[in-house]
C-alpha cells in the first residue's frame, strides 16, 4: 500500500450522530430516541433527492428541514426555538472514543482530510468541538458544486486539497452507500462497520472492512 492521503467522512465516521439523543429526549421524552433515527434518515434522503432534482440547499438547511419533517411525522408540537436548540446539537457531536488518538498517529505519516456533505463553517466547528480539528490537514465540503455524495462531482472535491492521485488515496466511511460511491469513483475504500450491519447491496464493495478506526491503524501499520 502506497497511500499518501487518508480521506474521512465526518458524520457517523469520526463523530457520532447519535450525540443528538440527549437534546431530542430533553424536548420530547420517550419519542426522542425515535426522532434521532428519523432525523438522520431523512437528512440523508433529502440530500439524495436534492442532488437528483438539482434543487440545491446546503447541508445545514437540509439538516434543519429533516428535523422539522421528522418532528411533524411523529406528531409532536414544536416551536422555532425548539428546532434551533436541537439543530445546534448537530455541531456538538462527540468524536468516537478512538478517533482522536488514531488521527493523531495517522497524521504523522499521511495527509488527513475530511470530505463531508456539510458546509465549510459547520465542518470546522464540528471538528473543533469534537477536539479533532488539530489532527486534520484539510476540511473539504463535498457539496461545493451544489451536489452531495455519492455523486462523482462530490468526490472530485478531494483533489482541491491534495496532489495525491486516486491510487494514493484511501477513503474511509461508516456509511456503506458512501463507500459504494467512493469505490465506484475509483478509490480504495475502508468501511468502518460500527453498527455490525450488512453491507448495502449497491454493486461496488469496500476493499477493506473494520469495526472501528483502530482496525484502520492496524491495516496501515501506523
Q: Provide the mean pLDDT of the chain.
A: 96
Kindly tell me if the per-residue pLDDT of 109 is higher than 80: yes
Task: Give the separation between CA 99 and CA 82, rounded to whole angstroms.
Answer: 31
Residue 222's pLDDT band, with cuts at 50, 70 and 90, is low
How far, in whole angstroms, is CA 73 from its chain's centroid?
24
Q: Residues 185, 155: contact at Cβ < 8 Å? A: yes
> And the C-alpha cell for 203?
454493486
pTM of the model: 0.96
Q: Catalytic residue numbers? A: 9
Element (H, E) at 191: strand 188-192
How far, in whole angstroms, is CA 197 from its chain's centroid?
17
Candidates 3.30.1300.10, 3.30.420.40, 1.10.150.240, 3.40.50.720; correct CATH number of 17-91?
1.10.150.240
Please name which of 157, 160, 155 lies closest in space to residue 186, comparing C-alpha atoms. 155
The tens digit of pLDDT for each residue in 61-101 reads 999 999 999 999 999 999 999 999 999 999 999 999 999 99
The single-letter DSSP state of residue 211 is S
Domain spanning 5-16+94-220: which superfamily?
A: HAD superfamily/HAD-like (3.40.50.1000)
What proportion of the chain, given as a percentage, has pLDDT over 90? Answer: 95
The tens digit of pLDDT for each residue in 148-201 reads 999 999 999 999 999 999 999 999 999 999 999 999 999 999 999 998 988 988
Amino acid at each position: 500500500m502506497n497511500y499518501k492521503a487518508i480521506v474521512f467522512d465526518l458524520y457517523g465516521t469520526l463523530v457520532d450522530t447519535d450525540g443528538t439523543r440527549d437534546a431530542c429526549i430533553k424536548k420530547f421524552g420517550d419519542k426522542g430516541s425515535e426522532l434521532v433515527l428519523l432525523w438522520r434518515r431523512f437528512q440523508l434522503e433529502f440530500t439524495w433527492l436534492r442532488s437528483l432534482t438539482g434543487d440545491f440547499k446546503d447541508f445545514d438547511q437540509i439538516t434543519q428541514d429533516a428535523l422539522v419533517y421528522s418532528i411533524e411525522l411523529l406528531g409532536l408540537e414544536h416551536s422555532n426555538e425548539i428546532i434551533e436548540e436541537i439543530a445546534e446539537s448537530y455541531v456538538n457531536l462527540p468524536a468516537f472514543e478512538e478517533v482522536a488518538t488514531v488521527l493523531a498517529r495517522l497524521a504523522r505519516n499521511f495527509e488527513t482530510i475530511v470530505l463531508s456533505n456539510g458546509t465549510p463553517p459547520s465542518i470546522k466547528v464540528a471538528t473543533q468541538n469534537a477536539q479533532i480539528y488539530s489532527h486534520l490537514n484539510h476540511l473539504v465540503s463535498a457539496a461545493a458544486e451544489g451536489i452531495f455524495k455519492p455523486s462523482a462531482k462530490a468526490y472530485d472535491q478531494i483533489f482541491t486539497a491534495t496532489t495525491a492521485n486516486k491510487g494514493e488515496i484511501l477513503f474511509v466511511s461508516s456509511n456503506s452507500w458512501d463507500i459504494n460511491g467512493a469505490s465506484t469513483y475509483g478509490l480504495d475504500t475502508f468501511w468502518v462497520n460500527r453498527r455490525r450491519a450488512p453491507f448495502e447491496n449497491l454493486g461496488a464493495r469496500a476493499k477493506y472492512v473494520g469495526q472501528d478506526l483502530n482496525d484502520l491503524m492496524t491495516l496501515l501499520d501506523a
